[in-house]
Structure 1
Amino acid sequence: MTAVENNPSRRTVQWWDRLGAALSGPWAPRARPGGGYVHCEPDWSWHLVLSDHDLWCVLDGVGRARLNGRDITLTAGCVLMLRPGDEIDAHHDPRNPLTVAYQHYSHDDAGQGAAVDDGPPDLLLPRQVHLDDLPEVRRHLDGLARIRRRPGPDASARSTAALVALLLEIHAQAARAAGDLPPLMDRRVHDVVEWLARHPTRRLDLHAAAASAELSADQFSRLFRRETGQSFRAYQVTVRIDRARELLAESGMTVSQVARVLGYADHRLFVRQFKARTGTAPGIWKRSA
């Protein structure tokens, strides 16, 4: 793997800011004809020299490809990020045929309105990425498909925004695979964390959370601490205090009202927990916000 395809600068905020600026500015991706979902026929094969960029994602099945002389195994979660001039020769097992999603696109020079085949070398995705979160990439691909099915004056702008989001997601998954970004949170913990974020006024019992993850309370407690760095109870308090800070800063509610809507029967407990996590009392926080 080349230095471009395993770039340590992806560990920095500046690299990601630069990538975002390029994708939303002079190197914005534009969808081209050719995109969608395909259940490949039993005798399917693919032989092509690319004239544009092609995002090609395996959703199911098994196959083999030879890309620019390099052999690649095709399984669910494999994404090929093909570039102009790339030569690919692919086939699959007809007993386990491939299902793929793909999108052809180009990068435009906003100043000239012309296609740009080569972007900044250190911002290019590797030609092969194995996804650690295929459902998230599929969600972005579904969004692109909906835009294609509903053409209108907004279609070009929306497809560009959707492509940028999709490419950033694949960049993030490639960076996680290379160790340049932290791994995804365990899905069982993630689902509970998302529930807590959406329902800061409600209390979730540890045993109920563990049951939703199909774990014992002890197993879930250990997993939750490992993934979040906090105990389950402490994390719930953090979520409530984060919401309290928002309410105190952005609403006309009093400290007592905020404590009450967040489920605190004991006003002193709310003040104590707020101060422990912010370093200041809620009344002072509200006045300074």
Structure 2
Amino acid sequence: MSAVDYTQPASWDRIIGLLEGAVEPRPSANCGRVQCAADWQWRPRLHDYDLWLALRGSGTMRIGPEVFPITPGTLFVLRPGDTGWATHTPDDRLSVVYLHIDFFTGEQPARIDATLLPARHVPFHDPTHLDLLLTRIVRLVAARQPLAAVEARLLLRQALIAIYQQDALNHGVASAGLDVRIEHVVAQLRSAPEQRLTLEQAAAQAQLAPGYFSRLFTREMGESFRAYALRCRLERARHLLEETTMPVGRIAASLGYESTYLFSRQFKQHFGCAPRSVR
């Protein structure tokens, strides 16, 4: 149960104040993306905050007196002082991405009012976007590039925004106010970018004329349908480049590209670097 009343505009004002104010969320070096061992058990005694997202597998987590099932897309927002335990099914081992974070005022750690925090248990129907954000942060924490820490902190704010929006949605409040017809299309584009959904097909799914659908999509999402679909494909490509050993040509083909050259050109235009340089 969330302590935040998402139906109240004042609650959103406080959340915005938290994410834009003097208190800065920062990732710690205690983070990773792992598959748990068959005999894995976890008994946390937390001194900081922890974002813990299940990607695959099944299990159970207890936090204080509450017990929650763990399934793909289950996010736990743990906080200082939380205790409990977690186990998983050895034949269905958990894969998770976890990120310990803290909040700072200047260089001093700060504790956040509990009424400003999302629920401890935040299920995601489609965790793809959050997975990409958290995984990218994990990689940046380990990187030595000059701007890695800056990018990691910016992405952490994006991740927290996504968590607040999902927590609100789980409590019956569509925080982004996205038209449900567009929301369904967006979910498909993000979960299956390789399907190459055309504007006409998407409009038919939304039961709208293509011209009206195109205008509505741009108004709701802030970019055109084609630009958003391309971004979803390229973000999935980057995820595959970072998380698998698939050759560039095979990744391009899996996302519907007939030409590796075209894929590489679009990737470089979007991310500012060639696909091979990501590895």
Normalising TM by the smaller chain, what interval? 0.5 to 0.7
Does the C-alpha gap of structure 1 residues 72 and 6 become closer, same or farther in structure 2, counting only changes over 3 Å?
A: farther
Alignment of 1:82-231 (within 5 A): 82-110=78-106, 113-117=107-111, 119-181=112-174, 182=177, 185-187=183-185, 191=189, 206=200, 209=201, 221=204, 223-225=205-207, 230-231=208-209
Q: 1:172 to 1:138 in 2, by over 3 A?
A: same
Residue 126 of structure 1, CA deviation:
0.6
- The residue that corresponds to 2:259 in the other structure is none
Cα distance, 1:177 vs structure 2: 1.4
Structure 1: distance between partners of 2:144 and 2:109:
22
Superposed counterparts of 1:55-74, under 5 Å: 55-74=51-70
1:24 equivalent in structure 2: 20
Distance 1:27 1:189 in 2: 32
Deviation for aligned residue 1:205: 7.5
Q: Percent identity?
A: 25
Q: Please give the residue correspondences for 1:255-270 in structure 2 after superposition, counting only pairs within 5 Å.
A: none
CA contact (8 A) 1:77 1:131 kept: yes
How far residue 66 of structure 1 moved from its aligned partner, in angstroms, is 1.1
**1:69: how far off?**
1.6
**Which AA in structure 1 matches 2:93?**
P
Number of positions where the alignment pairs a residue of Structure 1 with one of Structure 2: 209
Write the distance in 1 (CA, Å) between the matches of 2:28 and 2:91.
32
Residue identity in the other structure for 1:26: A
Alignment partner, residue 234 of structure 1: 212
Distance 1:133 1:27, change over 3 A: farther
CA contact (8 A) 2:199 2:214 kept: no
Kindly indicate whether residue 31 of structure 2 is the aligned counterpart of residue 35 of structure 1.
yes
Point out where structure 2 has 5 or more consecutive residues left out of the alignment: 220-279
**Distance change >3 Å, CA 7–CA 43, structure 1 → 2:** same
SS at match of 2:131: helix
Sort the Cα spacing of 1:81 and 1:238 in 2 relative to 1 into closer, same or farther, 3 A. closer
Distance in 2 of aligned mates of 1:18 and 1:99: 34
What RMSD over aligned residues (CA atoms) do the two structures have, in Å? 2.9
C-alpha separation in 1, matches of 2:4 and 2:17: 20
Cα distance in 1 for partners of 2:24, 2:72 equals: 28
Q: TM-score, length-normalised on structure 1?
A: 0.64
Q: From the CA coordinates, give the structure whose radius of gyration is larger.
A: 1
Structure 1: gaps of 5 or more residues? 196-203, 211-219, 242-289
Q: Deviations over 1:71-116 (max 9, x none)?
A: 1101101000000000020111101010000000111123xx2111
